[in-house]
Structure 1
């Protein structure tokens, strides 16, 4: 792994926020929706597809919990270069640099897992909301609301892809600027 691809402190801070604040909050929201639907004596009168909606909300909940778990797992590898060097004083400099690259590669994979789990949870949560809003009977204004939600969902997916690519390009550009300065 090239140094320019190492996660930045912003990458780790972002993953930490996603895994310790946003994911638990949205997982709780998903569980609340599941509880409200299953606690209703006849959800088929409220929802067009109650079983599918429940399944999608359960997938969202699981995805958010996975994002939390991946965040916790990523912290094992979240060491500064100085901290890593202090912990590996008995290694040769070249071996230490290679080992650090391995650690950073593992951290990057965990950050990607956090983002993917969170993004998938977000998308399935919105699909679950669409299932809740979808009217059990046609010709309702809620049909238009659901269409608006799907338009938002498409925009959200586009944003997630764009933000991921932008982050990758940004990290690559930092490495190129450092190489240009050192030459």
Structure 2
């Protein structure tokens, strides 16, 4: 009997991958390994969808290092919306003696459609409060280019996830330009 059970266990382990049903109801995608293992895939698809490296924007600067992969982070908000709406399905592969690997099962074009759809959702209030308190946002709030973008974003009474990402991108670019100017000034003063 023990040999039979050992044989069955060996066959299961050597057999390779097995799929785990996709039941997201008990999973907090912001802290689960399943979300973290698919974050790179989603970031790549968001970047490809918008033709810009949104995943490279350092949102942690705005959130002071908190909730970088949480609901305040816009790409996470898009991912969460796509997963909880069941428009995007994840599959987990389990291999013996290896960590679980979760990947996106839904076809890429459907995932991109979901990304576009949910990027038009309103950004959450916590993210906006963090942005409002962000020292760099306050510093550049009167910059004409940023002001024009913010005013256009809020004209309809809401700020979408994508509009939020665009605003943060502009703030970071303005900061980078200031740093470059300061560096050139420092070099000249040497």
TM normalised by structure 1 equals 0.28
Query: Which structure shows the higher helix fraction?
Result: 1
Higher strand share: 2
TM-score computed with the length of structure 2 as normaliser: 0.28
The structure whose RCO (Cα within 8 Å, separation 6+) is larger is 1
